[in-house]
Chain A
Amino acid sequence: MTAVVQAKGLSKRYGNTVALDNVNLDIQPGRIVGLVGPNGAGKTTALKAILGLAEFDGQLSVLGLDPRTHRTELMQQVCFIADVAVLPRWLRVSDAVDFVGGVHPRFSREKCEKLLARTKIKPTQRVRELSKGMIVQLHLALVMAIDAKLLILDEPTLGLDILYRKEFYNNLLGDYFDEQKTILVTTHQIEEIEHILTDLLFIKEGKIVLDATMDDVGERFAEVMVNPDKADAARALKPIYERQVFGKSIFLFDGIDKARLAELGELHKPSVADLFVATMKGTYQ
């Protein structure tokens, strides 16, 4: 199968700041990939490069096209929801539907209207009259009605309450996603979407520091709760992270045999949030 996104040595500088440092990516169709990193790690820069919105160095191919030279063709197959609301505040809902219907050849007005009918949004309302959650609902309805191969979501649920956040992913999984589509999503609320993801990318200071399927993550990483008498034995196995709880030490290991770890204490599968904290330690110091 051909990769949906393939990057080799992707780099981007803003003056003296390195935003992306020699990034390699290989995203296959039918995957839901989480791109996770602290603020300023390069997430949005990477997405901008993929969308052809920013210049970059290195090789990048999206659906077999170079986003720098084939942006128009690419935009027929790629959709994007950004963390900042981009819908103009004076726009009427019905005008937004007309506009996308007019410019996008793969847009289904019928599907969009069906999605909007499930919300409280009325066609005559203007964007400025909608709540933040409703604006995201509108944006999602517009985007989900486009039969695109790649959907890019940059902090799509930022600032939404938990009901809207659940509904957002519920819609994506129930009405949009199938094995011909690919979703690339960035979020800070990883614990809410970790079971949705098939693949996990961690980015830190412009570098990809973890690139694994969720199955691999379960295989590779393990958390062990260790009594003080065995703590030194655990440290000898070079854990990637250590923290203390109730006088016991909790160690996070990468790629150490589980049977060996089980001798030290109780094993757990770490959450993505635990992995994130361990991987990103020292970022803001």
Chain B
Amino acid sequence: MSIIWNDNTPIYRQLRDRVVAMILDGALKPGDALPSVRQVAADFQLNPITVSKGYQELVDEQLVEKRRGLGMYVTEGARATLMKSEREHFLREEWPALFARIQRMNLDLATLIKNAATTGEKS
């Protein structure tokens, strides 16, 4: 497998972000095992220290837990924790800009809700 890593973020951080995305998507569920450090190192051609560092970030954020002798597992509360921080991030960073744009375009609440309802039906 080949991935192009972007060169402005450390790779261990990008690895962490990938696992986070997989938890949010539901591709990794609470109680699921993460692949071993060795496996990830071989698959992505990374040195094992980089992989361990990425996993350690996830442990520090309590998204995964180390079970002695078994490996790393997604914690029960991982998705809820992530959702909470993602929501906060959205409201703090993205919503103000989005809201300003909505106002500039004179879109009223009723139109937005109507569109949201039809978009919801389609998906």
- A residues neighboring B (CB under 8 Å): 32, 166, 169-171, 173-175, 177-179, 192-193, 195-198, 214, 218, 267-271
Contacts and interface: CB of A to CB of B under 8 A. Distances in A.
Contacts, number: 50
A238 to B, nearest CB: 23
Interface string B47-79: 111100000000000000000000000000000
Given A195-B45, A195-B50, 7 more contacts: A173-B47, A174-B41, A197-B47, A198-B47, A218-B10, A268-B7, A269-B8
A173 B7 contact: no
A203 B7 CA distance: 25
Give the most central of A169, A174, A218, A268: most B CB within 10 Å. A174
Given A32-B47, A170-B45, A177-B48, A195 B38 contact: no
Contact of B47 (A174, A195, A269, A270): A195
13 contacts: A32-B47, A169-B45, A170-B42, A170-B45, A173-B46, A174-B39, A174-B42, A178-B38, A214-B47, A267-B8, A268-B8, A269-B7, A270-B7
A173 B38 contact: yes
B46 A271 contact: no
Query: From DSSP, what is the main secondary structure of chain B's interface residues?
Result: helix
A198 B49 contact: yes
Contacts of B48: 173, 177-179
A175 B43 CA distance: 12
Chain B, interface size category, equals 10 to 19
Contacts of A171: 42
A196 B46 CA distance: 4
B7 A193 contact: no
Question: Across chains A and B, which 3 residue pairs bring their CB atoms closest together, nearest first?
Answer: A174-B42, A173-B42, A269-B7
B38 A174 contact: yes
A271 B7 contact: yes
Contact of B41 (A173, A269, A271): A173
A265 B48 CA distance: 33
A169 B1 CA distance: 13
B11 interface: yes
Contacts of A268: 7-8
Interface string B77-114: 00000000000000000000000000000000000000
Contacts of A218: 10
A179 B38 CA distance: 11
Contacts of A166: 45
Interface in B24-53: 38-39, 41-50
Nearest to A213: B49
A195 B10 contact: no
Contacts of B10: 218
Contacts of A170: 42-43, 45
A171 B43 CA distance: 10
A195 B39 contact: no
A218 B7 CA distance: 10
Contacts of B47: 32, 173, 195-198, 214
Contacts of B38: 173-174, 178
A272 B42 CA distance: 20
A2 to B, nearest CB: 19
Contact of B45 (A175, A178, A196): A196
B42 A195 contact: no
